């Protein structure tokens, strides 16, 4: 019997999503003879079942280099906490039974869920209700457990590093302090990797709470020593010692809380404490856009093909992972048990410190 497999992309987009869709669809059709059903806009496509499209080989031709996702996505569609308007108010309802009903009505044999910790975690909850799930780890934040790397991260680091290289030349010309806020949620991977690659002076990450007085002092000392500029990279989730991370939006009915503001705060503090001319750049969603790097295209392709092999082996409630250079499957429960954060005593932080990067601690 021909299998019908659904595939969806959920949460924030990341470069490489289309490469996974392409690789999975090619393997599913050409190697296994299955039908592939594209579910649009994350779990929304299983809530509103007209949000589907059959994926044929023609639909996925030429998409490996394209950013975004041909299936669309959302980070507001958690079916276990779905915002519903009731009596002039927004209430969060569990509509997961409807999702299961539509999954069965569409006669899907399994679902490939491409997402970060939120989406993959929802997939795990749906697996407990009987959905046959295989997860694929996506996020520019690189914070999913079990896997050594998520696709999208390498492209985001490239984008952030290119921005740092550009900011350095203008900082140098104007003798300025440049503060650059990068994404990453509660993990400092993008800040740390782009900071090392961009040879910046200060990196502030959530895993190492910083002392703002010391950060300002470090920048001031550089200027006193005749260094004409300083570059400070701040992860959006970085927090001062004894303080909290800063949020731009925290309304649960609007989905996941949105971090933001720490870059401007750090910039203001440096400027007022040192008197040095300071500018702040918030890189924002540019880190999620554009064409994936060759590394991400290859990683996404390896993930996509292996997702099909896991389904063929009836290995569900599993996520494809990269471990020590090899692609394999691991239980989703392990992957979502704990976010993968930067180890303050790990190799990368050590390398950064050895090359003169200050963490504000
Ligand atoms: O998880 C990916 C990510 O880009 C985070 O780095 C960032 O905090 C968040 O998504 C932004 O989400 P939104 O697209 O809702 O602004």
Q: Which residues pair with 327 in a beta bridge?
A: 322
DSSP characters over 289-332: -SPPPHHHHHHHHHHHHHHHHHHHTT--SEEEEEETTEEEEEEH
Rounded CA gap, 34 and 3, in Å? Answer: 5
Rounded CA gap, 193 and 286, in Å? Answer: 17
- Per DSSP bridges, beta strands 4-9 and 202-204 are unpaired
Instruction: Report pLDDT digits (tens) over 343-358.
Output: 999 999 999 999 999 9
Q: Does 145 contact ligand 1 (Cβ within 6 A)? A: no
> CA-CA distances (angstroms) from residue 352 to 98, 195, 284?
49, 8, 24
Q: pLDDT value at position 203?
A: 98
Fold exhibited by the domain 153-288: Rossmann fold (3.40.50)
Q: pLDDT value at position 49?
A: 72
Q: pLDDT value at position 251?
A: 83
CA-nearest residue, atom 2 of ligand 1: 12
Handedness of CA 31, 112, 16, 349 (dihedral sign): negative
Q: Does 258 contact ligand 1 (Cβ within 6 A)? A: yes
Q: Does 12 contact ligand 1 (Cβ within 6 A)? A: yes
Instruction: Report pLDDT digits (tens) over 243-276.
Output: 999 999 988 777 788 999 999 999 999 999 999 9
Q: pLDDT value at position 297?
A: 98
- Per DSSP bridges, beta strands 133-137 and 82-86 are unpaired
Q: pLDDT value at position 16?
A: 98
DSSP characters over 104-157: HHTT-SEEEEEE-HHHHHHHHHHHHTT--EEEEEB-TT---SSSS--BTHHHHH
Q: pLDDT value at position 357?
A: 98
Rounded CA gap, 105 and 127, in Å? Answer: 17
CA-nearest residue, atom 16 of ligand 1: 258
Picking from 185, 198, 361, 193, the residue whose alpha carbon sits closest to that of residue 260 is 185
Q: pLDDT value at position 51?
A: 85
In the chain, what are the domain boundaries? 4-151+292-335, 153-288
CATH 3.40.50.450 fits 4-151+292-335, yes or no: yes
Residue appearing with tokens 């140098």: 172
Residues of the chain with pLDDT under 50: none
Rounded CA gap, 202 and 190, in Å? Answer: 14
Q: Does 150 contact ligand 1 (Cβ within 6 A)? A: no
CA-nearest residue, atom 14 of ligand 1: 12
Picking from 126, 95, 94, the residue whose alpha carbon sits closest to that of residue 110 is 126
Q: Does 15 contact ligand 1 (Cβ within 6 A)? A: no
Topology alike, domains 4-151+292-335 and 153-288: yes
Rounded CA gap, 274 and 253, in Å? Answer: 41
Q: pLDDT value at position 75?
A: 86
SS (H, E, C) 210-271: ECHHHHHHHHHHHHHCCCCCEEEEEECCCCECCCCCCEEECCHHHCCCEECCHHHHHHHHHH
Give 12 Cα–ligand 1 centroid separation in angstroms.
Answer: 6
Active site residues: 141
């Amino acid at each position: 019997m021909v299998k019908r497999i659904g595939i969806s992309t959920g949460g924030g987009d990341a470069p490489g999503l289309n490469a996974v869709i392409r690789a999975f669809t090619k393997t599913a059709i050409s190697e296994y003879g299955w039908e592939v059903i594209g579910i649009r806009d994350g779990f929304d496509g299983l809530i509103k079942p007209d949000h589907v499209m059959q994926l044929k080989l023609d639909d996925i031709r030429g998409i490996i280099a394209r950013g975004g996702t041909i299936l669309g996505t959302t980070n507001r569609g958690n079916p276990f906490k779905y915002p519903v308007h009731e009596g002039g108010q927004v209430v969060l309802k569990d509509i997961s039974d409807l999702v299961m009903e539509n999954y069965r009505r569409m006669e899907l044999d399994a679902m490939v869920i491409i997402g970060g910790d939120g989406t993959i975690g929802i997939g795990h909850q749906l697996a407990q209700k009987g959905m046959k799930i295989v997860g694929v780890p996506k996020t520019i934040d690189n914070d999913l457990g079990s896997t050594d790397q998520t696709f999208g991260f390498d492209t985001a680091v490239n984008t952030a590093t290119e921005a740092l290289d550009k900011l350095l030349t203008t900082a140098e010309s104007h003798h300025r302090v440049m503060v650059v806020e990068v994404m990453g949620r509660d993990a400092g991977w993008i800040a740390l990797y782009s900071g090392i690659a961009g040879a910046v002076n200060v990196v502030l990450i959530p895993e190492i709470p910083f002392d703002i007085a010391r950060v300002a002092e470090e920048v001031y000392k550089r200027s006193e020593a005749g260094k004409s500029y300083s570059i400070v990279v701040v992860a959006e989730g970085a927090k001062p010692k004894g303080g909290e991370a800063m949020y731009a939006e925290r309304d649960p009915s609007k989905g996941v809380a949105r971090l933001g503001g720490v870059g401007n705060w750090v910039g203001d503090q440096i400027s007022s404490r040192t008197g040095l001319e300071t500018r702040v750049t918030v890189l924002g969603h540019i880190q999620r856009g554009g064409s994936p790097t060759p590394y991400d295209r290859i990683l996404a392709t390896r993930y996509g093909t292996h997702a099909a092999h896991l389904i063929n082996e009836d290995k569900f409630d599993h996520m494809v992972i990269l471990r020590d250079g090899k692609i394999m499957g691991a239980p989703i429960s392990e992957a979502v048990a704990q976010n993968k954060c930067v180890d303050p005593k790990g190799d990368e932080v050590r390398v950064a410190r050895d090359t003169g990067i200050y963490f504000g601690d």
